[in-house]
Amino acid sequence: MKKTHNFSLLLLFLLFLVFPAYSLRIAVIPDNPKPGYPLSVAVEGAEGEGLVAKLVNAQGIIGRTPLFDIEPREFMRGNIIKVALLAVPSTARSGRATLKIENNSKLLGESIINIMERNFASEVIFLDERNTEIRATPSRKKTEEAKRLWAVLSRTGNAFYAADLCFSPPVASTRRTSFFGDRRVFRYSTGGTDAAIHAGVDYGVPTGTPVKACAPGRVVLAAFRETTGNSVVVEHLPGVYSLYYHLNRLNVEENAFVLRGGIIGESGMTGLATGPHLHWEIRIASENTDPDVCILKPIFDRSALIRSLRE
């Protein structure tokens, strides 16, 4: 009887060593986002090379991105803290959603969030013959440009160009001609129509207005594109990019490093544009993200994430 009791204690001790007294801990900020909002995630107790964070609701998987280490590394109870950055799509339905942490498709843990309801404006945009041609006529060059841009935006590296990232507006003007998430209907000069969702915000500024980098980063694209004209894309954090379209002039080259407030170009109306303006866009884990929300508070707040994990 005594031997059996000792064996049981030994078994419990071994189980404790293999399976610690704590389980996977997950922090999500915010836990009640609206469509278009960024999500920052911190995880303690997850190990492996295939770690991913998935955002799932009744529509299916609406977000997915790898987890990565904070640099310099953060630890809790000997565990490396992993983080991930996602965004709630502007098309996400309100209601319950689940943030899942997986390792090679194996579920390790999950956290429930509540997506709040959000309404977006609608607008009709009338295109002249030139803009109708740009938008409606297929071309091999546009297809190649789209593939190249998607290859950039869907890449999640491991570079940190800003520790706690909060964006600054790229121009001083506050005049907007379009807002994030606007439900658009394009009316072609030929009589046809097409629908789209506006992925960023448009500043109505005169041609030649200096355009500033919204945060430190590396220029990963600086080129003319048929649809977006002279365009610049800057990488800030793993999977986090800012985009600047319709520029009259480019002031930077690819692979250049820029500081917050550095001049990357001048506004204009190149590409598909009905007037001089700057289109400013934020992408997180490939998803369109509301730039105004990114201005109001950091999209990645290391201290707040760690604090949330410890609560």
Task: Specify the residue for token string 């004209």.
Answer: 229
> CATH: 1.10.1040.10, 2.30.130.10, 2.70.70.10, 2.40.10.10. Which one for 122-296?
2.70.70.10
Residues 28 and 43: their CA atoms lie apart, in Å, by 9
Domain spans, the chain: 2-118, 122-296
Which tokens belong to 242? 């800012």
pLDDT at 72: 67
CA distances to 23, 61, 95, 152 from 35, rounded to whole Å, are 30, 14, 11, 23
- Asked if 215 and 233 count as a contact pair (C-beta separation under 8 A), the reply is no
The structural architecture, per CATH, of the domain 2-118 is: Sandwich (2.60)
Instruction: For residue 33, give Cα distances in angstroms to 93, 132, 302.
Output: 11, 36, 18
CA distance 269 to 272: 8
* Location of structure tokens 């990488």: 235
Q: How much is the CA Rg of the chain, to the nearest whole Å?
A: 23
Rounded CA separation 136/142 (Å): 11
Extract the runs of DSSP E, i.e. beta strands, from 204-311: 210-212, 217-225, 229-237, 240-250, 257-258, 263-267, 278-284, 287-289
φ, ψ of residue 104 in degrees (nearest 5) = 50, 50
Return the pLDDT at 306.
Answer: 85
Residue-level pLDDT at 302: 83
Residue type, 307: R
Report whether 157 contacts 235 (CB < 8 A). Answer: yes
**pLDDT tens track, the chain, 311 positions:** 545 455 444 444 444 344 443 478 999 999 899 999 999 999 998 887 889 999 999 999 999 999 988 766 777 777 888 999 999 999 999 999 999 999 988 999 999 999 999 999 999 999 999 999 999 999 999 999 999 999 999 998 888 887 667 899 999 988 999 999 999 999 999 999 999 999 999 999 999 999 999 999 999 999 999 999 999 999 999 999 999 999 999 999 999 999 999 999 999 999 999 999 999 999 999 999 999 999 998 888 888 888 888 87
Cα distance between residue 281 and residue 283, in whole Å: 7
Q: What was the pLDDT predicted at 163?
A: 66
42 strand-pairing partners: 27, 83
Residue 59 is predicted with a pLDDT of 96
CA distance 27 to 305: 6
User: Strand 183-187 relative to strand 122-126: parallel, antiparallel, unpaired?
Assistant: parallel
Kindly report whether the peptide bond that precedes residue 72 is cis, defined as omega within 30 degrees of 0.
Answer: yes
- Phi first, then psi, for residue 175 (nearest 5°) are -75, 125
